[in-house]
């Protein structure tokens, strides 16, 4: 028999601590349940601070596989279902370790279970892997564990992850059509320049006349690309790399973020897609009992637009100085007015959590409307782009022929 220390919930709210005797951890948990408590942490007494230090020393965060958004959803969904069924954290992680579909999720569950068995809490273990889980995930789990509502927090966290996936899907879906059209246009132009224009060269030369400038330029470009065909993938790759680099390099990204907020419809898409995650995290953290300033710190991490992030950072400082949340956010002049109104109403009525939830629903509906509008606008714009390309190529081929007929 060994002595086990435990922390448990009494009546689902009060945290109690104590010791029980048992042969193993499973029996110790059963003994804690017989006392009428819900165990949250059980470890053998000899595994005290030394064991926790050893566990921290042997942990290698860099070896844990990074979890994508879909992986986090799978992991959190399974963990939430098991936790809400009353299954202890260690046993839940053991189930995921043995039965998860993806290897990376099984490895993550194994690492977490190992450290929790050594005496660490769930949130403390997560905090060692910020690159894998992110500060928002870690912060909300810590708040839920401290308040004794980890199951509810996991459920709310799952809603946030699903919301992020939905927003990402909407934005990607909106951009998919124009990207397809652009790629198709590039292929058409390359085929015309490399295979069609060179065929007409001999015929145009036999006319003995100067070619229109547009025909001459495209003809030279086509002959050059046909001769140096191996440069085509290099040119396309360089263009793609340059675009990606511009969106990742901080100075250019800041400039792009600023410009995107000056284009009417694009501004709405950027604002609402950013504040959808921002308000969702605010609502979950606030309901979990996190102080409002810490709620802001967690929510700011979701903002991907540098301009919006800087402005909300300034609002956070104002809230720290004692300013009301709605007044501080209004000073940024970047938060939609309807959201500000809901936050102000929530502050005045003492129902900020409820109003933040209403704000998330309003943003979801508004974002759907913006995506629908952009989709309807993109289709005719793409038709204009394709039509312009076809018209330019057609004029380049037929202008010399029209000139010979006129004479």
Please give the C-alpha separations between residue 125 and each of 49, 153, 170, 178, in angstroms, as whole numbers: 15, 17, 33, 43
Domain ranges of the chain: 1-46, 62-133, 135-407
Q: Which fold has domain 1-46?
A: Ubiquitin-like (UB roll) (3.10.20)
- Which residues make Cβ contacts (< 8 Å) with residue 94, sequence separation at least 6? 109, 113
Q: What is the pLDDT of residue 54?
A: 41
pLDDT digits 0-9 by tens, 283-306: 888 887 888 888 888 888 888 899
Domain 62-133 CATH superfamily: Type II secretion system (T2SS), domain F (1.20.81.30)
Q: What is the pLDDT of residue 355?
A: 92
The stretches in the chain having pLDDT less than 70 are 1, 9, 11-14, 45-65, 208, 403-407
Distance CA 40, CA 391 (A): 70
pLDDT digits 0-9 by tens, 246-283: 988 989 999 999 999 998 888 888 898 888 888 888 88
Q: Contact, 351 vs 357, CB < 8 A?
A: no
Q: What is the pTM of this model?
A: 0.66
Give the helix/strand (H/E) hosting 16. strand 14-22
* Bridge partner residues of 369 (DSSP): none
């Amino acid at each position: 028999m060994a002595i086990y220390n435990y922390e448990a919930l009494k009546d689902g709210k009060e945290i109690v601590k104590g010791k029980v005797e048992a042969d193993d951890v499973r029996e110790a948990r059963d003994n804690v349940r017989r006392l009428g408590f819900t165990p949250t942490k059980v470890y053998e007494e000899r595994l005290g601070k030394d064991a926790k230090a050893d566990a921290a020393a042997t942990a290698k965060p860099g070896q844990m596989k990074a979890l994508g958004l879909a992986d986090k959803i799978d992991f959190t969904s399974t963990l939430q279902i098991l936790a809400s069924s009353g299954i202890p954290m260690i046993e839940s992680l053991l189930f995921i370790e043995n039965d998860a579909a993806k290897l990376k999720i099984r490895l993550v569950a194994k690492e977490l279970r190992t450290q929790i068995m050594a005496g660490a809490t769930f949130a403390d273990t997560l905090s060692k892997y910020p690159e894998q889980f992110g500060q928002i995930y870690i912060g909300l789990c810590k708040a839920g564990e401290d308040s004794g509502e980890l199951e509810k927090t996991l459920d709310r966290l799952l809603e946030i992850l699903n919301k992020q996936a939905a927003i990402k899907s909407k934005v990607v879906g909106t951009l998919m059509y124009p990207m397809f059209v652009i790629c198709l246009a590039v292929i058409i132009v390359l085929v015309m320049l490399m295979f069609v224009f060179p065929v007409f060269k001999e015929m145009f030369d036999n006319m003995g006349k100067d070619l229109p400038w547009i025909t001459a330029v495209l003809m030279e470009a086509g002959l050059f690309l046909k001769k140096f065909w191996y440069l085509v993938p290099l040119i396309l790759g360089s263009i793609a790399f340059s675009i990606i680099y511009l969106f990742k390099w901080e100075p250019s990204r800041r400039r792009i973020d600023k410009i995107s907020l000056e284009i009417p419809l694009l501004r709405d898409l950027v604002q609402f897609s950013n504040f959808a995650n921002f308000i969702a995290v605010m609502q979950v953290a606030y309901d979990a009992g996190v102080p409002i300033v810490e709620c802001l710190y967690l929510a700011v991490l979701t903002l991907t637009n540098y301009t919006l992030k800087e402005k909300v950072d300034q609002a956070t400082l104002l809230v720290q100085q004692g300013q009301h949340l709605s007044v501080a956010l209004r000073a940024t002049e970047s938060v939609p007015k309807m959201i500000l109104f809901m936050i102000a109403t929530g502050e005045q009525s003492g129902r900020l959590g409820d109003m933040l939830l209403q704000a998330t629903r309003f943003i979801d509906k508004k974002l759907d409307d913006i995506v629908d509008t952009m989709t309807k606008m993109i289709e005719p714009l793409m038709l204009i782009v394709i039509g312009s390309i076809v018209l330019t190529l057609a004029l380049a081929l037929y202008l010399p022929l029209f000139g010979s007929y006129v004479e």
